[in-house]
Amino acid sequence: MKVFSESIRITTSRLREDINITERVADIVKESGIRDGMALISVPHTTVSIYINYGDKGLEEDLNNILDEMAPGDRSYKHGTGGYGSNAPAHIKSLLLGRGITLPVTRGVCALGQWQTIYFSEFGGPRPRLISVKVMGLTGS
Where do the structural domains in the chain lie, given as residue ranges?
2-73+85-138
pLDDT value of residue 136: 98
Q: What is the rounded distance in angstroms from the CA atom of residue 37 to the CA atom of residue 106?
A: 7
Q: Residue 140: what pLDDT?
A: 81
What pLDDT, on the 0 to 100 scale, is given for residue 78?
82
Whether residue 49 contacts residue 10, with contact meaning beta carbons closer than 8 Å, is answered with no
Residue ranges with strand state E in the chain: 2-11, 17-20, 36-42, 48-54, 100-106, 109-110, 116-122, 128-138
Whole-angstrom distance, CA of residue 101 vs CA of residue 110: 12
Mean pLDDT for each consecutive 10-residue tract of the chain (141 residues)? Answer: 97 96 98 98 97 94 96 83 74 96 97 96 96 96 68
Q: Which residues pair with 120 in a beta bridge?
A: 19, 50
Kindly indicate whether the domain formed by 2-73+85-138 is annotated with CATH number 2.60.120.460. Answer: yes
Q: What is the pLDDT of residue 86?
A: 77
